Every structure is written in C-alpha cells, then in structure tokens.
Chains A and B, each alone.
Chain A
C-alpha cells in the first residue's frame, strides 16, 4: 500500500461559513490510519469539521476527499457513507425503540439487506459495547452512558474504515470510558478514527495525533507528547494564587498551579497535556472562567 492509499482524509484550505459567520477558516489536514483527537472549545469548529467529513454538511470552499472520494459528488458521497461510522454530537436515538430495534434500523439504512446476517451484526455490535443484556429494554429507560453506547454501537456496524465520533465519551463513567478506549483502540488498527472531545485524558490515552482547533483555525497538529511539550517551562506550583497567570487554580493538595510566567516563590513542574492545551488556547474560555 503506497502513501496515497494510507490517506483516509485529505482536506485543503477548507472554509465553511454560515451567512457572515465563518465556522472553519482555511483548515488543511491529512489523516491516515490511527486515532486523531480534535480538541477545542465549544463553537471552535470541531463539530462542523466532523459533519463535513461525515458527509452531513457541504463545505463552502476548499478541497475535501474522504476515503479518496469527493463528498460533493453524489456517487462519491454514497461510496463514503458505505464505509463510514458516525456518532453525532447530539442524541440521535428514538427513545421508544429498543437498542436492538434502533441499531437494526440504522443497519437497514446502511444497506444490510439479509435479515439473518443483519440481526447477527446488530447483536455483534451491541455485545461489543456491552449492551448485549439490554437489547430489549426501551432506550428511554437506559442511563445516559448506555444511550451513548447505543450510538457507538450503530457506528460500528459493518466494521467501517472511517469512524467519526463527536464527543463520544460524554455521559460515560470512568469504567465505561476505559471500555470505550479499549474498543476504539482495537477498532483503529488499520482504520481511521477521528474523535472530538473536551477530555484531554481521552486524547492522552487514545490518540496518536491531536489537532487543536480554535475559532475555525487549526492551532496545533502533532502528537500528544508534542502538545504537552508546548507548555514545558511554563507550568508552576506555588503556595499562593497568581493573578498575573494565564490560568491558575487551586490543586487538591491546597497549592496553586499556574500556567504562564513564573510567579514569586514558585517551583517549575512537568506539564500535562491539559497544560499544553490551555496554554495554546489562551487560557480558559470566558464561559468557564466566569
């Protein structure tokens, strides 16, 4: 397989505008096999990018190729959709359905025509997300984490080459997140997984590559280790809060962690991925800081 074949997603100078508002402004990236995490604030453009990759939204300009196909071309779009698994950000379930019925419904839409084979596939993906015991319970009676896993199960139908996951770990408890990581890391072998998340721990644990998007522009594209390194020499622990720090918070040990220039009597500490992300995105959003 040559280099071109390993490019699952090719995006060049992608622009997406809604009226006067620009959601994506000249995004360029190439994605191969493995897991890529998108980090960014709410409204940064992550969901718009994922919807374009999932063929749910047209770009305003620029080049987009997904699995070698152009999503603006009707035949290309169908070809992409046949090899795609997608978990949208918002809940996309019919509450009156059971997990089995819902995943079966999506399997029908994904052209699994043979009934017996389709049902076997539905059971396979429900077992894969540990929902094999609640296949006949109404979705409305499931917990938030279980509902998220129903969404994930439908995305795994047919073992897709490209998996696009928009905040897949929202609502999952720590144990479920661990299971999710195991499942996705197994699936990512020679396939492409793109996921957006607010949780830097997920990126650290899962992704070979991380892309930080802010205001529709790619601010960072590299490995999690490289993102962590961007904060090296900028993270401090001190006994007192520092009003001049870019970001500062009280830790569980009662001391204060600062990102930015060195406060008085502070000691330099090793950065985390979250420190790198916060430094790169210019601190906390106004919403969080308030």
Chain B
C-alpha cells in the first residue's frame, strides 16, 4: 500500500465525516499499516473511543476471516472453531509427504486390481496399512514441525495438539485408503484387512512417542510390518489371507494396550528428557 492517511483525513474518519467508500478504503488499509494505526490512535479523543473500538473490532475480525488460508476456512466450514482450524493449519510442511504416501497407496491398489496376483494384492495391503502410520508420524514432532521447540513451552497440552493433528491426518488417510480398497473389492472383506493393523500401528507409534521421537517409532513399526512376510517366508498376500482374522484380533489388542499406555503416561510427552 503506497498511501497513508493524513492527520486531517484521520480526524475526519474518527468524526465519521468520510463517505462509505472512503471509510471502506481506510478500513482495508489500517490492518496492514502500523503507521496509520498509530495516527488514528493519536487523533482519537476520549469521547469517540468506544465507537472506534466497536468499528475496529468488527473490521479486523472480518478482514482476518478473508485473509485466512483456504485450508483453515474449509475446516471452519465443517464446524471446527477458528482456533482449532489454526492449530491444524500449522502442519502444512508435512502435507506433500502425506499426499505422496496416499498417491502411492492408490497407485499400488490400481496395479493390484489389474494384475490380480497375490503378490500385488499383498503389496497393496502392506502399503495401505502404512497410511495411518505415516499420517500419524507426519502430524507432530521436531522434524516435521519447525515450531516444535516453541509449541512445547506453551500452556496448551502437547497431547491435545498431538491428538488434534493426528486426527486431522488420520481421517483423510483412512478415507483415501478406504476408497483405494474399492478398486480391489473382488477380494472380499480382506480388501480392508489393512484398516485395523494400520490404526493399531498408528496408536502404538503414539504410545512409543512418549519415550522416543515419533518418526523413530513409526520407522521401526513400518520396518517390522514390511519385514513380516520375509520373516514368515510367505508372500504378503497369502500371509494376510491366512492370518487376517487373527491379525485383526492382534491389532485390536495392540491398539487397546497402546491406548492404556497413553492414558497413564501421556504427561511424559509434555516434558521429554531429550
């Protein structure tokens, strides 16, 4: 903005002597110009202070809404408070990695549907289960959040932020992977056998993050998950076909245990030793 208010114009603004279009122009300029705000404050008299306060409050809130990022405005439209939307909007750096992980899952699902072989289907199930884990690992932590050192020294519970961001990443991850499962739906319910192990690994990684950085926890779990068919010396598809039922129970058990650990030890996350 190249222009600034003159003292006369500032007094006319305070005295409500400007036309509507001039007022609108001034009010769109003020939020971006500290110099003009100081001028307005200087010429404001005690008598018109309450009126100015009201106008100022209305204008700034309206302008703040216009200048909010589209992602935050979208979140407020689905019912979240502007404050919660802002807390969630801070994880943009991780969005690209998250998107790539989701595209990889969908791509493998398409290959599996066209190939129709166990190996390809096994690859889909293996990668699909990693979606929730990747989403969780990219939601919070020193490596994905540049403001981590700052965020962890504010009065807001670190755990609340972790849960909020995890939910925000996990919900679309599960939704996208769920849609990818439709591509291989001829396999029956096993096409969604990734869901419970995926959520279980996400919850276990959160529990482990109480003691180790979440990216280390996620990497360890992902490695173990990918290596399982190798250790069992069987193709992933066959392994999952034959152990899917038991696997679901194990996943529920692991997720429950991890949730209990989180419930009792979460304050440690707030004040880690390293």
Contact = CB atoms under 8 A, between A and B. Distances in A.
Interface residues of B, number: 40
Interface string B33-76: 11101100000000000000000010011001001110000000
B154 interface: yes
A109 B60 contact: no
A255 interface: no
A84 B267 contact: no
Interface string B263-274: 000010011111
A115 B151 CA distance: 20
A209 B228 CA distance: 60
A84 B32 contact: no
B155 A74 contact: no
A123 B37 contact: yes
B7 interface: no
Contacts of A91: 146
| A-side interface size class | 35 or more
Nearest to A53: B153
B64 A119 contact: yes
A272 interface: no
Contacts of A57: 272-273
Given A56-B153, A109-B156, A133-B35, A71 B271 contact: yes
A110 interface: yes
A108 interface: yes
Interface in A99-115: 100-101, 104-106, 108-111, 113, 115
Contact of A86 (B32, B92, B148, B150): B150
B86 A104 contact: yes
A127 B271 CA distance: 33
B67 A136 contact: yes
B33 A92 contact: no
Interface in A7-42: 18
B35 A81 contact: no
B31 A81 contact: no
Given A90-B149, A127-B34, A133-B35, A105 B90 contact: yes
B9 interface: no
A88 interface: yes
Interface string A63-91: 00000000110100110011010101011
A92 B272 contact: no
Nearest to A131: B34
Instruction: Report the 9 A-B pairs with minimum CB-CB distance, sorted nearest first.
Output: A132-B34, A109-B154, A88-B149, A92-B150, A81-B155, A92-B147, A109-B156, A56-B153, A116-B57
Interface of A: 18, 51, 54-58, 71-72, 74, 77-78, 81-82, 84, 86, 88, 90-98, 100-101, 104-106, 108-111, 113, 115-116, 119-120, 123, 126-127, 130-133, 135-136, 154
Interface of B: 31-35, 37-38, 57, 60-61, 64, 67-69, 82-83, 86-87, 89-90, 92-93, 146-156, 161, 267, 270-274
6 contacts: A91-B146, A92-B148, A105-B86, A108-B83, A126-B34, A127-B34
